[in-house]
Amino acid sequence: MGLFAFLKSKFGKKPAEEGKKPEAEKQDESLKTYEKGLAKSRKAFASRLDELSKRYAKVNGDYFEELEQILIESDVGVELSIRLIEELLDKSEREKIYEPKEINDALVDLMFVDYATKGDSIENEIRFASEGPTVLLVVGVNGVGKTTSIAKLAYRYLNKGKKVMLVAGDTFRAGAVEQLKIWAGRLNCPIVTGEENSDPASVAFNGARYAKENGIDLMIVDTAGRQQTKANLMQELGKISRVIGKEIPGAPHEAFLIIDGTTGQNGVLQAKAFKEVTDLTGIVITKMDGTSKGGIILSIRDELGVPVRFMGLGERMEDLQEFDLDKYLYGLLLGSE
Ligand SMILES: Nc1nc2c(ncn2[C@@H]2O[C@H](COP(=O)(O)OP(=O)(O)OP(=O)(O)O)[C@@H](O)[C@H]2O)c(=O)[nH]1
Ligand SMILES: [Mg+2]
């Protein structure tokens, strides 16, 4: 069975069932969030694939060229797009597939296989240390959604019964500490802050102390937005990590880079630069609801091998979803509307 058929049978509309289990309801909610959050991307990608397949009776060179263009414009990345099209051409010739719809299905299969076979495991939830506090460091350029994603992640793990605390490591931007304090108040979780313009590493140190002494399960460290081209600011991240690691062995256990999904291929450049100074364990792509270029996820995976762990599909707390490849492809290709 091709992936198209598989996704349809997995997620396609089923008649309403009485007395659904809470777990199944959660799954439905999550799928709806994907469908809604990826509406723009779906419109740009799936509708164009569909439209293309209707214009050609049989695939030919022009068809593949148009297909490549759609991939590139959806931010799948030039290199990966070219490779996908080459593989597709090969398959078409080898297996004598000339039907446009079949080719499109095969493309989706290739996208799936390409993603699923790269890099490490596909477990996306935060991996908790076997004992002591688990530390998550959150980094990224300015305005990508670090602080709000932190709030959403805190919300997620508070709901799972974890003791969560926040550390206001952005001592640089006026108002940043206040912003995180407001979130801590709303979420009702402890926060460690420092003075404006104080050394973020010392705030992180105080945070780590607090976490150890108060039996915290998850300590999330916010950091100031920084351009990947500013060497001194990038090195500061290394210092923060080292200081935390001295207090809590193995920390930071997780380091997430936040990328704004609307920035396109520049996100890939950011990821490369941040990867050099921190041991990134995951990527969170935000604002997917605001872009029609949902293919960015594939190119990030292709070029970095760092997994996308969470995806921001809107502004509600629940809109930060664990990344799920099936749901993503469903939302990108088949969802409602
Ligand atoms: N629509 C949408 N908006 C988002 C999402 N994630 C974040 N935002 C918005 O993006 C804006 C910036 O978010 P912040 O969390 O303050 O970004 P930041 O990276 O902490 O910014 P700096 O601290 O200034 O570097 C806010 O208006 C958020 O509401 C998302 O998934 N979807
Ligand atoms: Mg911030």
How close is the Cα of 144 to the center of ligand 1, in Å? 5
Count of residues in the chain: 337
Mean pLDDT of all residues in the chain? 90
Report yes or no: 150 and 218 within 8 Å, Cβ to Cβ: no
Q: What is the mean pLDDT of residues 231-260?
A: 95
Site to substitute for ligand 1 among 34, 153, 178, 315, most atoms within 8 A of C-beta: 315
Q: What is the pLDDT of residue 97?
A: 93
What is the whole-number distance in angstroms between the Cα of residue 149 and the centre of ligand 1?
7
Which atom of ligand 1 has the smallest separation from the CA of 290? 1
Q: Report which of residues 178 and 111 the model is more confident about.
A: 178
Among 66, 87, 68, smallest CA distance to 78 is for 68
More confident residue, 9 or 202: 202
For ligand 1, atom 7: residue with the closest CA:
145
Transcribe 96-145 into DSSP letters.
T---HHHHHHHHHHHHHHHHHTSSS----S----SSS-EEEEEE-STTSS
- What is the residue with the minimal CA distance to atom 13 of ligand 1? 145
Beta bridge partners of 283: 257, 308
Centre of ligand 1 to C-alpha 161, Å, is 25
Note the pLDDT of residue 17: 58
Q: Is the pLDDT of residue 15 over 70?
A: no
User: By alpha-carbon position, which residue is closest to atom 29 of ligand 1?
Assistant: 315
What local confidence, expressed as pLDDT, does residue 220 receive? 98
Residue nearest ligand 1's atom 26 by CA: 145
Query: What are the backbone angles phi and psi of residue 260, rounded to the nearest 5°?
Result: -80, 115
| CA distances (Å), origin 174, targets 6, 140, 151, 183, 224 | 50, 17, 19, 16, 10
Residue 16 — pLDDT band, cuts 50, 70, 90?
low
Q: Is 67 exposed, middle or buried (0-12, 13-18, 19+ CB in 10 A)?
A: buried
CA of 318 to the centre of ligand 2 (A): 19
**How far is residue 146's CA from residue 83's CA, in Å, rounded to a whole number?**
33
The confidence score (pLDDT) of residue 19 equals 63
* Position with higher pLDDT, 249 vs 120: 249
Range of weakest confidence among 19-28, 142-151, 173-182, 243-252: 19-28
Residues with CB under 6 Å of ligand 1 are: 140, 142-148, 170, 173, 176, 225, 286-287, 289-290, 312, 314-315, 319
Indicate the angle between helix axes 325-333 and 22-37, nearest 10 degrees: 50
What is the rounded distance in angstroms from the CA atom of residue 139 to the CA atom of residue 135? 13
Q: How far is the CA of 162 from the centre of ligand 1 (A)?
A: 24
DSSP 60: -
Ligand nearest to the CA of 312: 1
Ligand 1, atom 8: closest residue by C-alpha = 145
Q: Cα of 181 to ligand 2 centre, how many Å?
A: 11
106 C-alpha vs ligand 1 centroid, how far in Å?
A: 36
Whole-number pLDDT of residue 326:
86
DSSP H or E stretch at residue 197? none
Give the pLDDT score at 186: 97
* pLDDT at residue 116 tops 80: no
Answer for the pair 220, 103: CB distance below 8 angstroms, yes or no: no
Q: What is the pLDDT of residues 23-61, one digit of tens each?
A: 788 888 999 999 999 999 998 888 899 999 999 999 999
137-164 as b/e: b if 16+ CB within 10 A: bbbbbeebbbbbbbbbbbbbbbeeebbb
Work out which ligand 1 atom sits closest to the CA atom of 140: 19
Q: Has residue 73 got a pLDDT over 60?
A: yes
* Nearest atom of ligand 1 to the alpha carbon of 170: 23
Structure tokens at 297: 């996820």
